[in-house]
Each structure stands twice: as structure tokens, then as C-alpha cells.
Amino acid sequence: KLAAISLSDEITEISTGLFKECSSLEKVTLSEKTTKIGSYAFSRCTALVAIELPNSITEIGTCAFSMCSKLTSIVVPNKVTEIAEEVFSDCVALNSIVLPDGLTGIGNYAFSNCNGLISVTIGNGVTSIGHDAFCECVGLTNITIPDSVSSLGDYAFYGCSGLTSVIIGNGVTAIG
């Protein structure tokens, strides 16, 4: 029945699976000193609508926010260098993502089945997009792959039936 969390400055890390399946959790406020969100930390928090990731975050673990079906937008902090596998998979209400320039990789299935996703901004530091990274994002209508990206994994945009415009940067040398 936990509905909201506000973490103190002493909390620097959210452990693996800490709030997993807290189905009533709607709002999370992290400390400005939080640096790591462990794998599955908020997975299946189906009521989670809002979480602001502080700039201190450097790591977000596998499936950390998977199946957070009411989460609508996310801004990934500048210090995060990689989006792990399935971090935001099945976040069906997610409609907007901003990925910073400091990010270098987008993991496999990172945003798969985010049906409501309509806006993705990929930072200029990203060099690789994993397989199935955006598969089944049916709401996505356009995407711009920056020049920094050298490889697109297999099925990266599989099932994105709404895509009408794809701009692929000059750096891409491999398309799965």
C-alpha cells in the first residue's frame, strides 16, 4: 500500500529489487546524492506516474523500471553512460524520452513494447543501439539516429508500425 517515497540524502543507492512490485507506488523522490538504481528496483510498480532522476545518477540497472505501466516520461541524467537491457521495457504509457549526449549505448530491449512512445531524443554520444531496443513502439512516428551511432542491432525498430520517417546518421556502418 506504499503510495509515495521520499528518500533522504543518506541514501546513495537503491538496491536490486528494493521496491519491485509495489503496485500502489505512485511517486518517488530520490536524493540528490543517489548514484545508482539497481536492477528491478522499481520493476512492476504499475501505479508509478512520476520519478525525477537526479543528475547524480550514474547507473540504472537491468529492468529497473520495466512494466511501470503508468510512467509517462523520463529524462535520463547526463552522468548515465549506458541504458541497460530492458530498463524501460513494457512501460506502455511512456510517451517521451530524452537521452543525454553522455550516453554511449542503448541496451537490448531497453524500450521494447513502449506502445505510447511518440518522442525520442537520442544524444550525440550514443554509439550503439542494441537489438530490439525500440521494438513494438507502435506510437513512434519518426526517429533521428545521430552521426555518433555506428551500429543498429537486429530488430531495433521491429514492429514500429507508426514510423513514417527515419533519419540515419552518417556514422552508421552496421544495421542488423
What lies within 8 Å, CB to CB, of 112 at 6+ separation is 86, 89, 90, 132, 133, 134, 135, 136, 137
pLDDT of residue 52: 87
pLDDT of residue 173: 95
Yes or no: say if 43 and 19 are a contact pair by the CB < 8 Å rule: no
pLDDT of residue 6: 92
State the cell numbers at 81: 553512460
State how far the Cα of 174 lies from the Cα of 176, in Å rounded to an integer.
6
pTM of the model: 0.93
pLDDT of residue 119: 86
Q: Give the residue among 56, 42, 48 at the shortest CA–CA distance from 73.
A: 48
What count of residues does the chain have? 176
Give me the residues of the chain with pLDDT under 50, please: none
pLDDT of residue 4: 94
- Long-range (24+ apart) CB contacts under 8 A made by 74-77 are 74/98, 76/100, 76/103, 77/53
- Long-range (24+ apart) CB contacts under 8 A made by 84-91 are 84/39, 84/60, 84/110, 85/109, 85/110, 85/130, 86/62, 86/110, 86/112, 87/60, 87/61, 87/62, 87/63, 87/111, 88/114, 89/63, 89/113, 89/114, 90/66, 90/114, 91/65, 91/66, 91/67
